[in-house]
Amino acid sequence: MKIKIKIEVTALRIALVDDERIYLDEMARICREFAAENRVDIELCEYSDGEGFLRSGEDFPIVFMDIYMDGSDGVQTACKLRERGSSCLLIFMTTSTEHMPEAFSCHAFEYIVKPLSPERVKKVLADAVKLLPPPDEYLELYCDRKKVRVGLGEIVSAVTDAHYLEVALSDGTLLRCRMTIKQFLEQTNDNKRFILINKGIIVNADYITDFENNCCILENGASLPIRVRDRLGIEQAARDYNFDKIRKKQRCGG
């Protein structure tokens, strides 16, 4: 099996919720300018009311929400959004600061007063992007002349077997690839979720459940031996990764 790996990222998805067309158009223009200036791919979804936004059931990392809207206003919509467990970065837009206390009770990230200032919106976007978790990354695999995309988050472990690497996925699939551990780490840009626990053995820290008897226990039931002399460092690397992941979720309101 020959394998070629390519890292790809998904576009940044942003929801714009406002019942006035003029502001939807202006926000869309500013967001696209920001994307062009920062070489960021974005996907904008526009909603003219809170009810329609909630009915969509879509999950966005960033949401710009007008407060004064017919029907369910922005604060009411935001409260319902949080009740669903959304951890989006929520930015309110309004012509008055009167509802600021209510807005921040919904764990709002920022508050923008109309008329909109492009500089202000772009600054908020830049701050928001810094707090978002890294975009989803994929490995583009060529197996038996077929291209398969595998998300980094789907990879549970990678174990060397002779000149091959056996890559276990979260759905139980096992891919046998002709590549080395070094090539794997290079192609994944040394992503911190992947920890080298022994010669020829990599695990995804997202799937570690325990360390026991000098072995790393994974969610799929696998028990892989760790390098004994590096045990403390390996366990610390797993703790550090999960601590950083929790901190990022907290910053995003999760």
Contact between residue 106 and residue 78 where contact means Cβ atoms under 8 Å apart: yes
pLDDT score, position 64: 97
What lies within 8 Å, CB to CB, of 112 at 6+ separation is 64, 91, 92, 93, 94, 120, 121, 124
In a domain, 166, yes or no: yes
Domain count, the chain: 2
Query: CATH number of the domain that 65 lies in?
Result: 3.40.50.2300
Q: Which residue among 79, 97, 131 closes a domain?
A: 131
Q: Give this prediction's pTM.
A: 0.55
In a domain, 1, yes or no: no
User: Smallest Cα–Cα separation from 128: which of 100, 109, 104, 106?
Assistant: 109
Contact between residue 179 and residue 3 where contact means Cβ atoms under 8 Å apart: yes
pLDDT score, position 190: 76
In a domain, 139, yes or no: no
Query: CATH number of the domain that 214 lies in?
Result: 2.40.50.1020
For the chain, 254 residues long, give each residue's pLDDT as a single digit of tens: 343 444 444 578 999 999 999 999 999 999 999 999 988 888 999 999 999 999 998 889 999 999 988 878 889 999 999 888 888 999 999 887 776 777 677 888 999 999 999 999 999 999 998 887 665 677 766 566 666 677 888 999 999 998 888 989 999 988 888 788 888 888 787 788 999 999 999 999 999 999 999 999 999 999 999 999 999 999 999 999 988 877 665 554 44
pLDDT score, position 244: 81
CA 80 to chain centre: 22
In a domain, 2, yes or no: no
| Domain boundaries, position 225 | 155-251
What backbone phi and psi angles, to 5 degrees, belong to 74? -60, -40
In a shared domain, residues 204 and 121: no
User: Smallest Cα–Cα separation from 173: which of 192, 194, 188, 151?
Assistant: 151
